[in-house]
Structure 1
């Protein structure tokens, strides 16, 4: 495939939109799903995650082949939010705890508090289970806090994607008030790498698969072609 074919159209307006979205990404807030496998629920949840600026969502499924997104429901959010798949929710929780996250499970218990009383400005992973079974007993024990959403109707639970939207909207409100969205939470190398990948996904895939560095971008998102990088790409095309 030619280099030209790998480069998508990039206008300055689109580049600055992508850059602005990345600058607002909240790497210290995430969601963990516990055995949520319905395609539309995962898709709606991912769309909400993108809307409130989450960088990553953790999905725990015993069978990873169950993970699929519904394009119309997700609105393409799968392109903008990183999804980390885990075989077990406990693995996701362990990884996040080791990274300094507080684990908050949406779970009714004697220790549960209203979700709006929790301080979402600290690094937080929100664990959500499927609508009827909720989270597992083991996961509930591993959580640092249990959160509930007050309800006044006959039904006993929200759909998981709706519960995620309610809790995340409160987290966003608190973080907006504390100007978290005005602070770039990514390291510069991580930011630059994701910026290039979002702007030029096909070219990024080529670089990744051949273990070559991404080229630099100019102030309007244009690619700065160094002689060495161009030669590397030409060599790849010749091999193919």
Structure 2
């Protein structure tokens, strides 16, 4: 079925507000509810993609809490936290790890307007020692009750929305696609609009067709590809 113009405009509007310089790295967060809620918060704030280091042999699953967010926020896998951190730092991210150590700063006192990645561990044991040692800055969320920490998905949402608030206040929250590298925008829009055709193009080793202003595929594709629309 052809993509309706209003659907295409909705996809483009959401993509225009995505931020490639804001992300999350979760270490050994395996519970489907938590992973699902984290990706839902990423989608709500405008995170382009998230990252994960998973326990070996644990298949990843999502539940209804995600509300389909895993379709819009890819979760990039890394074999270990050192590799994940190196990958993010090579892209210019500053890493903020949740920790209650003496060097940790109140998250509200940090500047999240530049490229930043929030790194969180599983609720039960938090970040590993290896991950903690690799962080640029430890942060904490002040608690006023008997419990010293939030659920990992709630903590993620708190940090992400603070980053968004700071960027909106500074006039840095994207609204016209400026939060995405120029050379990636058209491909991402095509993948969102026509995921099955995009998969076919990748299998064929060919570039994505151009789209009209209303989201129609301009190129005359083979019948096998058109059936994927």
TM-score per shorter chain, which class?
over 0.9
Give 1:26's aligned residue: 19
Rounded to whole Å, the distance in 1 between the matches of 2:16 and 2:224 is 35
- Identify the match of residue 160 of structure 2 among 168, 187, 192: 168
Rounded to whole Å, the distance in 1 between the matches of 2:224 and 2:94 is 47
More helix by share: 1
Give 2:72's aligned residue: 80
Give 1:197's aligned residue: 191
Give a deviation string over 1:37-90, Cα, whole Å, max 9, x none: 1111000000000000000100101326422211x1100001101210112112
Give a deviation string over 1:4-26, Cα, whole Å, max 9, x none: xxxx4411111111111111111
Give 2:53's aligned residue: 60
Is 1:143 the counterpart of 2:135? The answer is yes
C-alpha contact (below 8 Å) 2:81/2:130 kept by paired residues: no
Question: Offset of 1:175 from its aligned partner?
Answer: 1.0
Counterparts in 2 of 1:187 and 1:64: CA distance versus 1, 3 Å:
farther
Rounded to whole Å, the distance in 2 between the matches of 1:207 and 1:132 is 43
Question: Offset of 1:225 from its aligned partner?
Answer: 1.5
C-alpha contact (below 8 Å) 1:32/1:59 kept by paired residues: yes
- Identify the match of residue 31 of structure 2 among 33, 38, 43: 38
C-alpha contact (below 8 Å) 2:200/2:225 kept by paired residues: no
Moved over 6 A (4+): none
Give a deviation string over 1:166-198, Cα, whole Å, max 9, x none: 111101101111222235122233110010110
- Identify the match of residue 211 of structure 2 among 204, 217, 236: 217
Alignment partner of 1:217: what SS? coil
Alignment partner of 1:146: what SS? strand
Rounded to whole Å, the distance in 2 between the matches of 1:83 and 1:143 is 20
Alpha-carbon RMSD: 1.7
Question: Offset of 1:200 from its aligned partner?
Answer: 0.7
Counterparts in 2 of 1:212 and 1:109: CA distance versus 1, 3 Å:
same
For structure 1, the 5+ residue unaligned runs are: 1-7
Give 2:145's aligned residue: 153
Rounded to whole Å, the distance in 2 between the matches of 1:19 and 1:149 is 34
Alignment partner of 2:61: what SS? coil
Give 2:62's aligned residue: 69
Alignment partner of 1:181: what SS? coil
Larger radius of gyration: 1
Give 1:125's aligned residue: 117
Question: Offset of 1:144 from its aligned partner?
Answer: 0.5
Question: Offset of 1:236 from its aligned partner?
Answer: 8.1
C-alpha contact (below 8 Å) 1:64/1:87 kept by paired residues: no
